[in-house]
Amino acid sequence: MQGLMQDVPLSLDIIFNRAEQLWPTKRLATATPSGLEVVTFGAWAERTRRLGGVLDDLGVSEDGRVATFAWNTARHLELYFAAPCTGRVLHTLNIRLFANQITYIANHAEDEVVFADRSLLPLLWPLIDECKTVRHVVVMDDTAGRPDAPELPSDPRVLDYEELLATASPHPFGVVTDESTAASMCYTSGTTGDPKGVVYSHRSVVLHSLSILLADTLAVGERDVVLPVVPMFHVNAWGLCQAAVMGGADVVFPGADLSPEAITRLIVDEGVTLAAGVPTIWMGVLPHLAGRPHKLRRVVGGGSAVPRSLSETYRAEVGLPILQAWGMTETSPLATVAFTRSERAASTGEEALADLRATQGIPSPLVELRIADPESGERLPWDGATSGEVQVRGPWIARQYYNDPRGDAQFSADGWLRTGDVGVVSPDGYVRLVDRTKDLIKSGGEWISSVDLENEIMGHPAVAEAAVIAVPSERWMERPMACVVLEEGQELTADELRAWLAPRVAKWWLPELVEFIDAVPRTSVGKFSKKDLRARFSDRRVP
């Protein structure tokens, strides 16, 4: 027997139409060098429809890729809807990638047009001839007439956003009838290899947006003022902007100035209730925000582990801890959120609750999660002790990369995404990540967590940062090697470090090799690049 409910395609039109009808007076505010620019949702919707007309006028093909190279702005949000609602595919280029990665991605996705902020032209323009399929560069002037604004190249490919919009006719939208049609795409940042393309469908974006409105995830709602510090070029600003449009929340876009002072000013002056960004951002903002009046109800952190101490300092000095979330490009990205379950809140002390907030959280509704042995694939128990590769499945989780068979191994035979993250799960579903599969060290048949070892090393007062990699060993297969950066003016020997670690970790975890280095190499998006460390120390061996 079939269900008899309407089969309405879950397309972005549903989100857009709702905002146009229900929230015409809500505000989208963008920070610019000359102050805050505010548009209402009503005016934004009208511009977005005309932008749909611009894409027609430019001759972008039916499912053509519309790239953006832009900060978080209300204009960028116009593109977020105009491209998919006219059947095209939004492709947010990550401005922080290396030049060769950007051209690789633009060519791989076959971008036809790039919408770029004027302030970013110095990064984009030198690459443009390498981007073989790009026919137009539409410049969005975000410089507010400043004298130091980058010059506009005199080239027939360069067009002005506002000029195009002024003469375009509004598009009726409503062309997407198949909800599995591509809406947007993002490439991974390539921490563990070349960037790979993830293609979101209309259906996945709608369901992911809806999930962000739920009380036990980020609870974005009509009463909120949302500040996405996380870039719109990095996994769609974690889906927050689309969720805000769906839910009718005001949005404050930080534009190009991501300094702690600027972010703090927006939080305080604009009455921001929910702000989201990576832990580094919250570290920078802390001294500015501490003790200031604000309306924040959630500070969301993710992208890398939120240190327990940072979250606790926020609790003490800002009045609320950081709400940790976990996900990746392949998961849209929101997959788990560390909200406090009521049983835990009732029965656990403050210290344990802080530990709980330092986990990556429990899976969102519609996301299924399991852990498995990274080699045999055997499913492992949720006992709070056994660690395994985190695997997820759900309607906003990728099933394949775009035109890239190299990535096939990341999907299990039974259709789950192998995240490459290694974690333990408590019996009540809290995931705690301990490593990435590629960074785990297998010594004498047992796993050593590089993350746990790094944390213990970084606990030494003389250590600024540390990264642990595996080196080959004849006897043990692999052994850990510690690459340590000392605090300015501090001294430490390998033996002193081992003496510090001895009471803190298992004896067989103690690294024979300790190398003092000037800095841990980082990827273009600021994560530790163990790939580079492994290459640099590829000659090291432990007997």
Taking residues 219 to 258 in sequence order and writing x for each that binds ligand ADP by CB under 6 A, - otherwise, the string is: ----------------------------------------
- Under rule CB under 6 A, residue 191 binds ligand ADP: yes
Which of the 8 DSSP states describes residue 255?
A: B
Taking residues 394 to 433 in sequence order and writing x for each that binds ligand ADP by CB under 6 A, - otherwise, the string is: -------------------------x-x-----------x
- Sheet of 158-160: strands edge to edge? 158-160, 136-140, 111-117, 65-69, 89-92, 182-187, 197-201
Question: Residue 123: is it exposed, middle or buried by C-beta count within 10 angstroms (0-12/13-18/19+)?
Answer: middle
Residue from the set 71, 125, 314, 326 that interacts with ligand ADP by CB under 6 A? 326
Closest CB 329 distance from ligand ADP, rounded Å: 4
Best CA proximity match to 55, nearest among 38, 72, 80, 30: 80
Residue from the set 527, 531, 536, 540 that interacts with ligand ADP by CB under 6 A? 527
Q: Which of 71, 125, 282, 447 is catalytic?
A: 447
Q: Which of 130, 348, 442, 527 is catalytic?
A: 442
Q: Which of 32, 73, 92, 188 is catalytic?
A: 188
- Under rule CB under 6 A, residue 439 binds ligand ADP: no
Closest CB 115 distance from ligand ADP, rounded Å: 22
Closest CB 241 distance from ligand ADP, rounded Å: 17
**Is 330 known to be catalytic?**
yes
- Measured from the CB atom, the residue of 64 and 423 that comes closer to ligand ADP is 423
Closest CB 486 distance from ligand ADP, rounded Å: 25
**Is 188 known to be catalytic?**
yes
Cis peptide bond N-terminal to 153, omega within 30? no
Closest CB 326 distance from ligand ADP, rounded Å: 4
Best CA proximity match to 543, nearest among 483, 487, 473, 479: 473
- Distance of alpha carbon 79 from alpha carbon 285, whole angstroms: 29
Closest CB 433 distance from ligand ADP, rounded Å: 5
- Measured from the CB atom, the residue of 324 and 387 that comes closer to ligand ADP is 324
Residue from the set 65, 76, 88, 436 that interacts with ligand ADP by CB under 6 A? 436
Residue from the set 229, 318, 328, 470 that interacts with ligand ADP by CB under 6 A? 328
Amino acid at position 459, single letter = G
Stretch that binds ligand ADP, among 149-157, 188-196, 399-407, 529-537 (CB under 6 A): 188-196
- Distance of alpha carbon 132 from alpha carbon 127, whole angstroms: 10
Rounded to 5 degrees, what are φ and ψ at 541? -140, 150
Considering only residues 286 through 325, tell me which ones interact with ligand ADP, judged by CB under 6 A.
302-305, 324
Is residue 23 within 8 Å of 41, Cβ to Cβ?
yes
What does the angle CA 212 – CA 215 – CA 216 come to, to the nearest 5 degrees? 85
CA distances from 327 to 369, 400, 417 (A): 12, 16, 12
Closest CB 328 distance from ligand ADP, rounded Å: 3
- Under rule CB under 6 A, residue 184 binds ligand ADP: no
Residue from the set 53, 84, 87, 190 that interacts with ligand ADP by CB under 6 A? 190
- What the block records as the tokens of 244 is 């805000």
Roughly what angle, to the nearest 10 degrees, separates helices 12-22 and 202-212? Answer: 50
Closest CB 465 distance from ligand ADP, rounded Å: 16
Q: Which of 112, 330, 454, 478 is catalytic?
A: 330
Count of residues in contact with ligand ADP, rule CB under 6 A: 18
- Under rule CB under 6 A, residue 329 binds ligand ADP: yes
- Measured from the CB atom, the residue of 255 and 303 that comes closer to ligand ADP is 303
**Is 196 known to be catalytic?**
no
- Distance of alpha carbon 494 from alpha carbon 482, whole angstroms: 9
Provide the 3-class DSSP secondary structure of residue 267.
helix
Closest CB 21 distance from ligand ADP, rounded Å: 34
- Under rule CB under 6 A, residue 81 binds ligand ADP: no
- What the block records as the tokens of 459 is 């606990």
Residue from the set 360, 364, 449, 524 that interacts with ligand ADP by CB under 6 A? 360
Instruction: Kindly state the helix (H) or strand (E) to which residue 245 belongs, with its residue range.
Output: helix 240-247
CA distances from 407 to 310, 334, 343, 372, 401 (A): 35, 21, 40, 19, 6
- Distance of alpha carbon 30 from alpha carbon 39, whole angstroms: 9
- Measured from the CB atom, the residue of 72 and 419 that comes closer to ligand ADP is 419
- Measured from the CB atom, the residue of 84 and 302 that comes closer to ligand ADP is 302
- Distance of alpha carbon 285 from alpha carbon 279, whole angstroms: 10
- Measured from the CB atom, the residue of 184 and 191 that comes closer to ligand ADP is 191
**Helix then strand then coil, % of the chain, to nearest 5:** 35, 25, 40
Closest CB 278 distance from ligand ADP, rounded Å: 9
**Is 447 known to be catalytic?**
yes
Torsion on CA atoms 273, 277, 282, 285, rounded to nearest 10? -70
Beta strands in 129-181 (DSSP E): 136-140, 158-160
Please report how many Cα atoms fall inside a 13 Å half-sphere around the Cα of residue 446, on the Cβ side.
7
- Measured from the CB atom, the residue of 191 and 311 that comes closer to ligand ADP is 191
- Contact positions vs ligand ADP (CB under 6 A): 188-191, 302-305, 324, 326, 328-329, 360, 419, 421, 433, 436, 527
Active-site residue list: 188, 330, 442, 447
